[in-house]
Amino acid sequence: MTKNSRTENDPARKSQLSGAAPLPLEPDRNCPLCPRLADFREQARAREPGWFNSPVSSFGDPAARLLIVGLAPGLQGANRTGRPFTGDYAGDLLYATLLEYGFAKGVYQARPDDGLTLVDCRISNAVRCVPPQNKPLPAEINTCRQFLSATIQTMPRLRAAVALGRVAHESMLKALGLRSSAAPFAHGAMHQAAAVKLYDSYHCSRYNTNTGVLTAEMFRRVFARVRADLDTGS
Ligand code: SF4
């Protein structure tokens, strides 16, 4: 991928280079940039007025060294509760693993007010709005990358990122300026991007665990490696 094509795919980079006003760090709750997703959001608001039904912000301290990037809010998970990975199966496995490896403290109770806090860790998504069938379109992933890039840019101590699934991996590569051909997605792989190590994992969705694509042990091994690398500074 050329430098120019990376710029075209990343509105934050384009804005930086053009000298235009900096893009917002977080999307407006009525962000209109992906018309299909904005429409889906409106339908969800009409159907479930008590749900969050807005772009889901990152969770955790910008001073953290670890960033975890998922695909997009789950319809009945983060889209319902407003906190990444909160309220559906993917969150059960993710937060249990983070608690085990010291990246979270408290008790995860699948609610944004459960008091759980992240430790040296932040969680975000490649796409901030819930997509139909959990499948964002390539244009939507490209458009929302400005917010992922902004998340990265506001993490001065960032040393490790875990991409949950291929979409998060590809979007992180573009945000970090790595070529896809140089860093193919593979569960358990690690790619170096300047000071940041990008670790790949299959997404911790119920579908992946039910079909045996990902086991809890496979998932634990990814975080065990991240923990060890951060602890040893390697
Ligand atoms: S997915 Fe991102 S860019 Fe698209 S409408 Fe939602 S917040 Fe805006």
| Cβ-based neighbour number of residue 14 at 10 Å | 15
Q: Whose CA is nearest to atom 6 of ligand 1?
A: 129
Q: How far is the CA of 152 from the centre of ligand 1 (A)?
A: 17
CA of 49 to the centre of ligand 1 (A): 20
pLDDT-flagged residues of the chain (< 70) = 1-23
Which residue type occupies 227? R
Say what the pLDDT of residue 23 is: 59
Ligand 1 pocket residue status of 127, Cβ below 6 Å: yes
In the prediction, which pLDDT does 180 show?
87
User: 26: number of CA atoms within 13 Å, CB side?
Assistant: 10
At residue 139, the pLDDT reads 98
Please report the DSSP string for 30-58 in residue order: T--SSHHHHHHHHHHHHH-TTS--SPPPP
Is the shortest distance between the CB of 140 and ligand 1 below 6 Å?
Answer: yes
* Whole-number pLDDT of residue 115: 97
CA of 29 from ligand 1 middle (Å) equals 9
What pLDDT was estimated at residue 20?
53
pLDDT score at 21: 54
Instruction: Kindly state if the Cβ of 196 falls inside 6 Å of ligand 1.
Output: no
- Burial category of 209 from C-beta neighbours within 10 Å (exposed 0-12, middle 13-18, buried 19 and up): buried
Residue 165 CB less than 6 A away from ligand 1: no
Is 129 near ligand 1, meaning CB less than 6 Å away? yes
Ligand 1 atom nearest to 131, measured from its CA: 1
Count of H-run helices and E-run strands, the chain:
9, 8
**pLDDT (tens digit, 9 = 90+) per residue, 63-121?**
999 999 999 999 999 999 999 999 999 999 999 999 999 999 999 999 999 999 999 99
pLDDT at position 1: 39
3-state secondary structure of 125: strand
For residue 22, what pLDDT is reported? 59
pLDDT of residue 31: 98
